[in-house]
Chain A
Amino acid sequence: MTPDKRADYWRANLRYLTVLLIVWFIVSYGFGILLVEPLNAIHLGGYPLGFWFAQQGSIYVFVALIFVYAALMNRLDKEFDVGEE
């Protein structure tokens, strides 16, 4: 594998990481902590929305983020032909 292709593969990985970690930050630190008060004005069933993000929603999003990353990387491994046999 050429150094250029290696660098491209790593840059694509870093792009995925950046986007997914921004989402990770927003649902927990953003919605669950910093913006919890304004969000609590909105209700999701019996849940105030900010409280829901802090005790339920952020965890569901975390699970989704890991599977999305695994799927994206599988595709990237194929594209660059660096996956395992």
Chain B
Amino acid sequence: MTPLELWTYSIVGLTFAIYIGIAIWARAGSTSEFYVAGGGVHPVANGMATAADWMSAASFISMAGMLAFGGYGGSVFLMGWTGGYVLLALLLAPYLRKFGKFTVPEFIGDRYYANSARVVAVICLILASVTYVIGQMTGIGVAFGRFLGISYEMGILAGMGIVAVYAILGGMKGITYTQIAQYVVLIFAYTIPAIFISLNLTGNPIPQLGLGSTYIGDDSGVSLLAKLDQVVSDLGFKEYTTQVMGSTLNMFVYTLSLMIGTAGLPHVIIRFFTVPKVADARYSAGWALVFIAILYTTAPAVGAMARLNLMDTIQIGPVGEETGNLVYDERPDWFKRWETTGLLKFEDKNGDGRIQYYDDKNAEFAAKAESFGWKGNEMVTVNNDIMVLANPEIAQLPNWVIALVVAGGLAAALSTAAGLLLAISSAISHDLLKGVFMPQITEKNELMAGRLSMIGAIILAGYLGMNPPGFAAGTVAIAFGLAASSIFPALMLGIFAKRMNKQGAIAGMVAGITVTLLYVFQHKGILFIPGTDFLLPDMGMGANWFFGITPEAFGAIGAVANFLVAALVAALTAPPPEHIQHLVEDVRIPRGAGAATGH
């Protein structure tokens, strides 16, 4: 066993032991403990658990890479995935906490006085959560496979096993306390390498300030961002700080979709049912965002600095001179290690034994490159995800830091997977079973049903992780698109529009999902089956035909469709019954919020 493997096994093993210890201590004895941790979680503790619940393998592993290669364009993820908490805190969380039930579909079913509305909400929830959980499972498999020397499938089995222990035993209660531990692990794992790298490149240990400081790698005295802009544009890439994603309109709509999608994700919303009071729900959302912001404001520094390090590793001298490019045989060890995973790939196109990494799609620069004897970009694959995982190796940090990053990535994936699995299993045992099919079920049997559906959900997630369907890459689009276009508008209208009735809400949800899915399917195939995409260029429907908006960004358009259809249908049909209007008035006022119940 190499020293790195020894470190990795020790640190990952230690964190897993902690999670199991918590699971045994925090067993659930009632449905209230299983669904909402008994409703007694301190707002700061819930904020921390929410942060871990929310920050997934995508936030931890992929986001810095998306920033590194997307530059300013990557800002949509930063603003979109944090700005949603403002909507959640101001428009949803306090009122849903006041309503005081266990699940999100339960609110929709009661508010719209129809089991059909509840079932539509359950379907949206399960679709969004299952697609989302696949990403966590593949993240777990990759982390195990790369660093612990075991196979991808074994890695997923290990991940399933650990989640099973605390999610089945403890339900929301076990998940809450493990998520707190997982937050601590992941935030240290993320910030420690960032501090070292910021110190290396700028002399400032605080990454948020380092990104705005002077670069100390040479004596030019320019800022780090100016240096990065220079280095990438010298090789034909777009300037880092001004590179947009698609167009300004696309960035606007994409950010909006991520924000309302974030506010509408059920596994995040149910975390706010666990605090004792309405006032706690308001503060708790603020604390959640504080804990999230620590990672999200560090990520831009990690992305920019990793990009600069990567460019400097390959382009070691002036652009165009033969000695300016790294000799392939002299590449560093981390380069070799990542090549074996296929996430990093080199192809010596001009046969000079040196690495040329530049933008060969930039016609102007490609012409110049040809005069140097370059025959195309030779770094044919540089996967986004390696930026965080390889970052400590690129910066030559000690082995324990690398091991900590692995434990952090696993913590991020496990905590989010557990939250999603709880949302799925409570929708099945509480909304479908108790709510619709077996209203007479006893609490003891419902708790058993909750545990059984948890087992089923874990097996399904594991299976999908090992056999990821073709649409795994479109996961983000579909989960956020569904939440944004169905759940968020239904919840918001339920609170802010007293006149909204069941016809309006159901028609709105159906319209929102349909519009979003049609656009996504048009680009990516019906149900993501390859070859069934159906863009109609003759009718003016080329790629991104709707004002240049990408399918990932389309949830906001679906939400607009939802709001419009709901308002129109509600105006043409009878207002909701008197007692529903009273219910709406009641959720608007904090007084009288008891602990969440299932009745």
Report chain A residues within 8 Å CB of B283: 67, 70
With contact pairs A54-B79, A59-B78 given, residues A66 and B212 touching in the complex (Cβ less than 8 Å): no
How many angstroms from the CA of A70 to the CA of B255 in the assembled complex? 24
How many angstroms from the CA of A65 to the CA of B290 in the assembled complex? 11
Asked if B529 lies at the interface with its beta carbon under 8 angstroms from chain A, I say no
User: A66 contacts B85, CB within 8 Å?
Assistant: yes
Q: Is the interface of A mostly helix, strand, loop or mixed?
A: helix
Determine which of A6, A13, A62, A82 lies in contact with B86 in the assembled complex, contact meaning CB atoms within 8 Å: A62
Smallest beta-carbon distance B265→chain A, Å: 17
User: B252 contacts A33, CB within 8 Å?
Assistant: yes
* Chain B 207-227 interface mask (CB, 8 Å, partner A; 1/0): 011011110000000011110
User: A45 contacts B213, CB within 8 Å?
Assistant: yes
Smallest beta-carbon distance A78→chain B, Å: 10
Asked if A83 lies at the interface with its beta carbon under 8 angstroms from chain B, I say yes
Asked if B293 lies at the interface with its beta carbon under 8 angstroms from chain A, I say yes
Smallest beta-carbon distance A15→chain B, Å: 12
With contact pairs A55-B300, A62-B85, A63-B293 given, residues A82 and B591 touching in the complex (Cβ less than 8 Å): yes
How many angstroms from the CA of A69 to the CA of B286 in the assembled complex? 9
User: B212 contacts A44, CB within 8 Å?
Assistant: yes
CB neighbors of B among A55-77 (8 A)? 55-56, 58-60, 62-63, 65-67, 69-70, 73-74, 77
With contact pairs A45-B212, A54-B79, A77-B590 given, residues A29 and B279 touching in the complex (Cβ less than 8 Å): no
Smallest beta-carbon distance A26→chain B, Å: 12
How many angstroms from the CA of A33 to the CA of B89 in the assembled complex? 23
List the A residue with the shortest CB-CB distance to B227: A46
With contact pairs A45-B213, A51-B72, A84-B278 given, residues A40 and B255 touching in the complex (Cβ less than 8 Å): no
Asked if B241 lies at the interface with its beta carbon under 8 angstroms from chain A, I say yes
User: A84 contacts B277, CB within 8 Å?
Assistant: yes
Smallest beta-carbon distance A44→chain B, Å: 7
Report chain B residues within 8 Å CB of A28: 79, 83, 255
How many angstroms from the CA of A46 to the CA of B120 in the assembled complex? 50
Report chain A residues within 8 Å CB of B72: 36, 51, 54-55
Q: For chain A, which range describes its interface: under 10, 10 to 19, 20 to 34, or 35 or more residues?
A: 35 or more
User: B590 contacts A83, CB within 8 Å?
Assistant: yes
Report chain A residues within 8 Å CB of B94: 73
CB neighbors of A among B238-271 (8 A)? 241-242, 248, 251-252, 255-256
With contact pairs A32-B79, A46-B211 given, residues A84 and B279 touching in the complex (Cβ less than 8 Å): yes
User: B279 contacts A82, CB within 8 Å?
Assistant: no
List the B residue with the shortest CB-CB distance to A84: B277
List the A residue with the shortest CB-CB distance to B594: A84
Report chain A residues within 8 Å CB of B285: 66
Asked if B289 lies at the interface with its beta carbon under 8 angstroms from chain A, I say yes
User: A46 contacts B224, CB within 8 Å?
Assistant: yes
User: B300 contacts A66, CB within 8 Å?
Assistant: no
Smallest beta-carbon distance B455→chain A, Å: 37
User: A66 contacts B224, CB within 8 Å?
Assistant: no
Smallest beta-carbon distance B361→chain A, Å: 24
* Chain B 85-118 interface mask (CB, 8 Å, partner A; 1/0): 1100111001000000000000000000000000
* Chain B 294-322 interface mask (CB, 8 Å, partner A; 1/0): 00110010000000000000000000000
Report chain B residues within 8 Å CB of A46: 211-214, 223-226
How many angstroms from the CA of A34 to the CA of B290 in the assembled complex? 26
Asked if B443 lies at the interface with its beta carbon under 8 angstroms from chain A, I say no
Asked if B574 lies at the interface with its beta carbon under 8 angstroms from chain A, I say no
User: A73 contacts B208, CB within 8 Å?
Assistant: no
Report chain B residues within 8 Å CB of A36: 72
CB neighbors of B among A23-48 (8 A)? 24, 28-29, 32-34, 36-37, 40, 44-48
User: B212 contacts A83, CB within 8 Å?
Assistant: no
User: A34 contacts B248, CB within 8 Å?
Assistant: yes
Smallest beta-carbon distance A60→chain B, Å: 7
CB neighbors of A among B169-200 (8 A)? none
Asked if B593 lies at the interface with its beta carbon under 8 angstroms from chain A, I say yes
How many angstroms from the CA of A44 to the CA of B211 in the assembled complex? 11
How many angstroms from the CA of A58 to the CA of B241 in the assembled complex? 16
CB neighbors of A among B29-80 (8 A)? 67, 72, 75, 78-79
Asked if B336 lies at the interface with its beta carbon under 8 angstroms from chain A, I say no
How many angstroms from the CA of A45 to the CA of B82 in the assembled complex? 24
Asked if B444 lies at the interface with its beta carbon under 8 angstroms from chain A, I say no
With contact pairs A32-B75, A66-B85 given, residues A60 and B286 touching in the complex (Cβ less than 8 Å): no
Report chain A residues within 8 Å CB of B90: 17, 20-21, 65-66, 69
Smallest beta-carbon distance B213→chain A, Å: 6
Smallest beta-carbon distance B105→chain A, Å: 25
Asked if B368 lies at the interface with its beta carbon under 8 angstroms from chain A, I say no
* Chain B 394-419 interface mask (CB, 8 Å, partner A; 1/0): 00000000000000000000000000
* Chain B 448-486 interface mask (CB, 8 Å, partner A; 1/0): 000000000000000000000000000000000000000
How many angstroms from the CA of A62 to the CA of B82 in the assembled complex? 7
Smallest beta-carbon distance B122→chain A, Å: 29
Smallest beta-carbon distance B385→chain A, Å: 20
Report chain A residues within 8 Å CB of B370: none
Please name 5 pairs of A and B residues whose Cβ atoms are closer than 8 Å in the assembled complex, sorted by A.
A24-B83, A56-B297, A70-B89, A73-B94, A84-B592
List the 6 closest pairs (A to B, CB-CB), nearest first: A46-B223, A54-B75, A66-B286, A70-B282, A45-B212, A47-B212
For the complex with contacts A33-B255, A63-B293, 8 further pairs of A-B residues with Cβ separation under 8 Å are: A20-B86, A32-B79, A34-B248, A37-B242, A45-B212, A51-B72, A70-B89, A70-B283
List residues of chain A with CB under 8 Å of any chain B CB: 1, 6, 9-10, 13, 17, 20-21, 24, 28-29, 32-34, 36-37, 40, 44-48, 51-52, 54-56, 58-60, 62-63, 65-67, 69-70, 73-74, 77, 82-84
